[in-house]
Amino acid sequence: MNLAPDSPTLILVIWALAFVVLALWQLICLLHPRLPSLTVVVDVLFQWRITRWLLLAGWFWWGWHVWVRGGW
């Protein structure tokens, strides 16, 4: 089964995979408290103003490419 890069099925599979990876990361962090959870990583990144601006710029870039250029 070949899926086009802009196939809705492929996009849903990628989103589901990303959700599963993040959920597994959080679960592993609960079982092993020495590992940093997603919240800890985000808190560390938000300590500095430059990383907050870079994350915001990345969020805008991602939104532009997914929603505007992707034709959603």
- Between 28 and 71, where is the model more confident? 28
Residue 2 placed within a domain: no
What's the pLDDT at 63? 84
Give pLDDT tens digits for 17-64.
Answer: 999 999 999 999 999 999 999 999 999 999 999 999 999 999 999 888
* Pair 70, 6: CB distance under 8 Å: yes
What's the pLDDT at 3? 64
* Three-point CA angle 56, 61, 64, nearest 5°: 125
Give the total number of structural domains in the chain.
1
Domain interval for residue 63: 9-26+36-68
Residue 51 placed within a domain: yes
pTM: 0.64
What's the pLDDT at 28? 95
Whole-angstrom distance, CA of residue 20 vs CA of residue 65: 23
Whole-angstrom distance, CA of residue 10 vs CA of residue 14: 6
